[in-house]
Structure 1
Amino acid sequence: MRSPLPDYLLEVVDACASDRSGALADYIPDLARADPERLGVALSTIDGEVYAAGDVDVEFTIQSISKPFVYALAIQDSGLDEVLRRISVEPSGNAFNELSLEAGTGRPYNPMINAGAIASHALVVDGLSSEDERVERVLEAFSELAGRELHVNEAVFESEMSTAHRNLGIAHMLRAQGIIEDDPEEIVRGYTRQCSIDVTARDLALMSATLANSGRQPQSGRRIIDPRVVRQVLSVMLSCGMYDAAGDWITTVGIPAKSGVSGGVIGALPGQLGLAVFSPRLDEHGNSVRGVQVCERLSADTGLHLMESVQPARSIMSAPEVDIDGDGARTVTVRLRGSMLFTGAERVLRALSQLDTGDLGSLVVDLEDVFTMSDVAVRMLVEAGRRVALDGVSVTVHDPGELLGDVSADALGAAVVVDEPLAAG
């Protein structure tokens, strides 16, 4: 069977292609020469399957879509406390290039506007690195995220630097406030190179899916961003990623997102997928007109809004299997599956707490079909096993994927964890 998803995406592209409103970013000479008719959309699942339609392999510069990824690098390289000391996380309600800083602290309002993004770039590597070191760090990380080697578009870089007076003014303001400590012109050059990296919609879908996949690149499987950093980045993207249109975006689309003035839009829905749209004409907020339309259509058609009600906890556990030996002792086997978070773990604990342990000889818990398990779910399941064992029941947890990690003997008590699958039958 041929998947209907590419046909669906092509239908969405065709439906949105007729809208020719908006304008190119003509304040950057090279972007003013873009083909305004380009339109492509790509989706990547968190296991690396990419569905695409339209102009998804046309290269364009990443521009402000670089901001969330460099914010992640800044946190990983300089630490969250240091980054928060220099960059706030509040929605500004202003345009992306507003010449304003937070009253009292002098910090940029958030890392998704230019002031915050320039400060983020200055914190890449260790805050004391050279321009070349910062750019190399960004380029290598972006290449890993996209799954191919990316390059800076030097023509766009030169074009942007020729009109970078506003960003230079912002950088000098940041230097005067002590937010950045390096030469403002050097920081702006590095930031502009960051924005001038060529990507495709296909690349951006994989980069977004890495955020949706808790920082693990879907195709290589390599951990690139720490999960706690991803949570910080996605939170800021949701509230600030679409500039002064963020409120409309949250209510209509409901996916953490970021746009760029070359016409790209990305979205990352945690645990599900990453998406990217490319269409160069922009609205008054600096967001792609067709890109916004495509995302609104996808959210409405497929239930991708973050606030859609789901009940994953209901499907985490199969009905307990009971075997009775010749002496009348019972063995209960519980098979878990899917992604296990707090609510799923609570459901397992509730079921185990209702077991009659009077004639229960053994409890077997099978994790072979569990894909991911949050830290709190691990702690809850381990404690449940320990408590059942305290009632004199032999507890064995089959964890072939080693989801429980290196659990201490004290935490387990008399319960036993083995890394082999549960034998059939």
Structure 2
Amino acid sequence: MAQLVRRYLDRILDEHRQVTDGALACYIPELARVDPHGFALSLSSADGFIYECGDAGVEFTIQSISKPFTYALALDQIGQNAVDAKIGVEPSGEAFNEISVDEATKKPKNPMINAGAIAAVSLIPASTPDERFAMIAEFYSACAGRRLELDRDVYSSEKATGSRNRAIAYMLQSFGVLDDDPDDVLDVYFRQCSFNVTSTDLARMAATLARGGVNPLTGRRVTNAAVVKRTLSVMVTCGMYDAAGDWVSAVGMPAKSGVGGGIVAVLPGQLGIGVYSPLLDAKGNSVRGVRLCRSLSEQLGLHFLTVARDSRATLRAVYEPRDGIRVYETHGDLLFSGAEQVARTVERERADFAAVILDVSRVDDIDDTARELLSGISAALRAEGRAGYLVDPAGIVIRNELEYETVRYATVDDAVAAAERDLRA
């Protein structure tokens, strides 16, 4: 049944495939050489299951998506008070590479702009630049669930053209924000921005944040829930630079973009998203990536202010009234996350039964995405030689039985009786 979700995600990706607006990040020469047509979406559930669409295997550099993870590492290593003494948490309303600090505090305004990100690098406790970089590499890799590698060509390109960041670093030193040599700090910063990732790496890194610091693929606790809470809070207000307001209103997920074309987005407790498309808008955000995330949020009900509804969407009970017949009883409100859970649970357990009954009689509300996924379960089971039945007395999933070639039953007993007749036939 996971293919039902994958087809739905493919369709959303295809809605934006023909968009050609934007431009490559030509101010970093190596980034101006990437294929402008690359387009990928990866989605990780909270238990680590991955859906991949488009060019999910294509590697690109993480760039500014590194910022929240270095910030999280600094929080993890030296604590919030020490980090707050050097970096603020207020939206800047400025370009990501603005040469500025807060007028009153003389600190970077937040860790998601370059000034704050450079300061965050300096806060990683280490005796040498290489030791500091090794700590960052280990943390990123633990979040991704695999060892991430440096793109040395991009690193060299960034270092050769990083005059603006050098100006920012020396400004920070003049205000007492940087205690270490600015060039040493910058070298680590250029390296951290040059890790190669895929959209799937980003989805897994996002899912690690969604799980409160536990990587769902490896089961390893990378950091603690307090660090994640603080990091996601800053991502909500500052992660998309001076487009943060539009993003929060329309998409409603903590997120971070990078000029390599990636976007990472987190729905706490539920899933992580990684997107890639290298053509950027004037604010440095991926054009297709932003549009894709907007569609995902709208069509899958992912805005974080709808989470309270979806958190009640779960399997109420699973039982077998007869040998070979399994009932999956749902309740509450069903949005994408809940429907995906039901579909994948049925798929995972399908070898254990000959017939499945999906009982939606206790569902209060359902959106179109969940309706489409659940209505496809019976057809998917039939294609595998199994039988599927739907208890849907109010017609909330199947509004037209002829359209879906599925019979709705009023009670579980009616569906069990039909299943027994069919299995005897």
Q: How does 1:370-389 map to 2 (within 5 A)?
A: none
Counterpart for residue 11 of structure 2: 11
Quick one: distance in 2 between partners of 1:114 and 1:152?
20
Equivalent pairs counted in the alignment come to 319
Please state how far the C-alpha of 1:314 moved relative to its aligned partner: 6.5
Quick one: distance in 2 between partners of 1:226 and 1:50?
23
Counterpart for residue 330 of structure 1: none
**1:123-169 C-alpha deviation (Å, 9 max, x unpaired):** 11x2x531101110111111111111111111100001111000000
Say if 2:280 is the partner of 1:289.
Answer: no
Q: 1:188 aligns with which of 186, 189, 208?
A: 186
Query: Measured at CA, do residues 19 and 100 of structure 1 come closer, stay the same or move farther in structure 2, by a change above 3 Å?
Result: same
Counterpart for residue 265 of structure 1: 263
Say if 2:106 is the partner of 1:115.
Answer: no
Counterpart for residue 368 of structure 1: none
Counterpart for residue 67 of structure 2: 67
Query: Measured at CA, do residues 148 and 317 of structure 1 come closer, stay the same or move farther in structure 2, by a change above 3 Å?
Result: closer
Quick one: distance in 2 between partners of 1:270 and 1:152?
29
Query: Measured at CA, do residues 318 and 61 of structure 1 come closer, stay the same or move farther in structure 2, by a change above 3 Å?
Result: closer
Quick one: distance in 1 between partners of 2:60 and 2:140?
14
Counterpart for residue 151 of structure 2: 153
Counterpart for residue 299 of structure 1: 297
Counterpart for residue 367 of structure 1: none
Unmatched runs of 5 consecutive residues or more in structure 2: 318-330, 333-425
* Residue type of the alignment partner of 1:186: D
Counterpart for residue 247 of structure 1: 245
SS, match of residue 258 in structure 1: strand
Quick one: distance in 1 between partners of 2:278 and 2:310?
38
Please state how far the C-alpha of 1:121 moved relative to its aligned partner: 0.5
**1:55-95 C-alpha deviation (Å, 9 max, x unpaired):** 11111110000000000001111211010000000000000
TM normalised by structure 1 equals 0.73
**1:331-363 C-alpha deviation (Å, 9 max, x unpaired):** xxxxxx99xxxxxxxxxxxxxxxxxxxxxxxxx
Quick one: distance in 2 between partners of 1:155 and 1:263?
17
Quick one: distance in 1 between partners of 2:56 and 2:106?
40
Counterpart for residue 166 of structure 1: 164
Quick one: distance in 2 between partners of 1:31 and 1:313?
40
SS, match of residue 21 in structure 2: coil
* Residue type of the alignment partner of 1:227: A
* Residue type of the alignment partner of 2:63: Q
* Residue type of the alignment partner of 1:169: A
Quick one: distance in 2 between partners of 1:139 and 1:27?
25
Q: Which runs of 4+ in 1 moved over 4 A?
A: 311-319
* Residue type of the alignment partner of 1:214: G
TM normalised by structure 2 equals 0.73
SS, match of residue 4 in structure 1: helix
* Residue type of the alignment partner of 1:106: K
SS, match of residue 256 in structure 2: strand
Quick one: distance in 1 between partners of 2:144 and 2:266?
14
Please state how far the C-alpha of 1:104 moved relative to its aligned partner: 2.1
SS, match of residue 262 in structure 1: coil
Say if 2:27 is the partner of 1:24.
Answer: no
**1:319-340 C-alpha deviation (Å, 9 max, x unpaired):** 9xxxxxxxxxxxxxxxxx99xx
Counterpart for residue 238 of structure 1: 236
Quick one: distance in 2 between partners of 1:317 and 1:27?
51
* Residue type of the alignment partner of 2:72: A
Q: 1:208 aligns with which of 206, 226, 251?
A: 206
Quick one: distance in 2 between partners of 1:18 and 1:315?
35
Counterpart for residue 49 of structure 2: 49
C-alpha RMSD of the superposition: 1.9
**1:3-23 C-alpha deviation (Å, 9 max, x unpaired):** 311111211221111110000
